[in-house]
Chains A and B, each alone.
Chain A
Amino acid sequence: MIRISDVHHQIDGQPILRGIELDIPQGGVTALIGPNGAGKSTLLSLVARLAPIQRGRITVAGHEVGRVRDRDLARVLAIMPQAQHVATRLRVEELVGFGRYPWHRGRPGPADRAMVEAALERFDLRALRSRFLDEISGGQRQRALVAMAYAQDTPVLLLDEPLNNLDIAAARGLMALLRDMAERDGKTILIVLHDINVATAYADRLVVMREGRIAAEGPPGEVVTEALLREVFGTEAGIARIEGRPFVIV
């Protein structure tokens, strides 16, 4: 579904990504993990064309990211950027409605309104629909943003550290929703996470990055080892197994 070939990227002359090769299959949750500065968010922004691709090639659902029309890319890929700040005062339902923009370009029809209703229902936002974003909690706001991405109705969803500033219950609730979207709707979800235990608990695949390169990739049970933690994160940690999934104990 997402193919990344020989992608290099520099910012102010500093190499951030060094020859990334990665194939992300259709369906399921893939978590990008790694220490700060590993290049996770940069890679995500290149896949979503938030930054120009300097070298290499990325395709999403058969569309070459560097060449596809903006509107067409937005119909196959939705992104929830890091620390999204909405400058205007919006109600929850208005925000979710923006997810339909790539389809209606400002003139919503019955199908668009139905999709917004479905998103509000799916993400349990009906009671909050008329509330302004600055009147709801951080967890509810993140849920509304995911509902907006859901309303965009794309096969691929990218999320950059969506759990920042969320308490444990809100983080768990959000990850369960994403897991559900992957299982019930067959969405391909690529998510940048900091918490390795959240990644191992909810992702089907892990992609571990270090210094702009892929250090390891595969199912969490195979990828997360004490040697990898030592090599990539520079820390000694034990690993327990809970229901077959690794759990890192520092």
Chain B
Amino acid sequence: MARRLAILGAVLALAAAGYMLIGARGNWGFVLPFRAAKLAALLLVGAGLAVATVMFQTITANRILTPSLMGYDALYVLVLTALVHGLGASGYAALPPALLFALNLAAMSALGLLLFALLARLARGDLVRLVLTGIVLGLLIRAGTTFLQRMIDPSAFQMVQGISYARFTQVEPSLLGLAALAILPALALAWTLRHRLDVISLGRDAAAGLGEPPARLERAALALICVLVAAATALVGPLASGSLGPTSFFGLIAAAFAHAITPHARHAVLMPCAALTGALILVGGQTLMERVLALATPLTVVIEFVGGVTFLILLLKRRSA
């Protein structure tokens, strides 16, 4: 298994080298740090979202669920729209990026925890009810966002539209450190949960019987998921193809590919594999889009397309199982 992880790491290193070097001309003193900042953002976001999705799928015992599918990404756009609505376009634009990042991170983490706690209460362990309630809550959040967007002026609306997409081409370097301060410790804490996540994958009763009460672990995992997704989204924006478009399938693809690459259900293998896969999808995809296809189409559109196909395949596999 170590060999597969090493190969994955080597391919990621190649993709990263490609991203840094392909088409690099002119002043290398400017080009390399500029690209390095964007590369760091891609690595942080890819690894953070992929690990968050793997944890989410383990605690919900469902391989097609992602935090995005449960309406979590939609919270980001709601927070942004509420800020633009409250402060006005100029007031919003005047906010220091670090403050905006902190506001987004805090609001999304808090709202995310509330959302998941509400979901858990409403669904009471019933998975079908959990999914349906999550989707309905996601729709509610999106409808609330649309309502707010109708009430702001056109220029502010245009601003909200602009910042409602993932932006890998314009990463604010000052935010990278802040995002790393949130994502890296959260990844380290997620790593400490690896054995407990293995146990909960046996089922709630079996986990309790092995001395691992699921409720405590679920709370810890959900808190980390909220921080990881919130920090990644606050750094580059939501990986959805639009505020009202389909939810992002990025986490789903990363987790599905990680499961396909490793036959091991152990999180000690699965989580690093997902982190490498997630980072590879973003770095490789962005290299292709930015350097080869000259930004002909945004990466998020391709992710949605591949993700949609993956989602259907997973659904069909479940039906035939």
Query: Measuring CB to CB, which residues of chain A are less than 8 angstroms from any residue of chain B?
Result: 45, 48-50, 69-75, 77-81, 84-90, 94-95, 98-99, 101-102, 105-107, 152
Contact = CB atoms under 8 A, between A and B. Distances in A.
B117 interface: no
A101 B212 contact: yes
B265 A50 contact: no
Q: For B196, B203, B211, which residue has the most chain A Cβ atoms within 10 angstroms?
A: B211
B201 A87 contact: yes
Nearest to A107: B195
B205 A106 contact: no
Nearest to A82: B205
Specify the main secondary structure of chain B where it touches its partner: loop
B210 A86 contact: no
A81 B265 contact: no
Interface of B: 58, 61-63, 194-196, 198-199, 201-203, 205-206, 208-213, 263, 265-266
A19 to B, nearest CB: 25
Contacts of B203: 81, 84-87
A84 B211 contact: no
Given A87-B61, A89-B265, A98-B199, A50 B205 contact: yes
Task: Identify whether the interface residues of A are mostly helix, strand, loop, or mixed.
Answer: loop
A84 B210 CA distance: 14
Contacts of B212: 70, 101
B198 A86 contact: no
Contacts of B211: 69-75, 101-102
15 contacts: A50-B205, A50-B209, A69-B211, A70-B211, A75-B211, A86-B201, A86-B203, A87-B58, A87-B61, A87-B63, A94-B265, A94-B266, A95-B202, A105-B195, A107-B195
Contacts of A88: 58, 201-202, 265
A148 to B, nearest CB: 9
A31 to B, nearest CB: 20
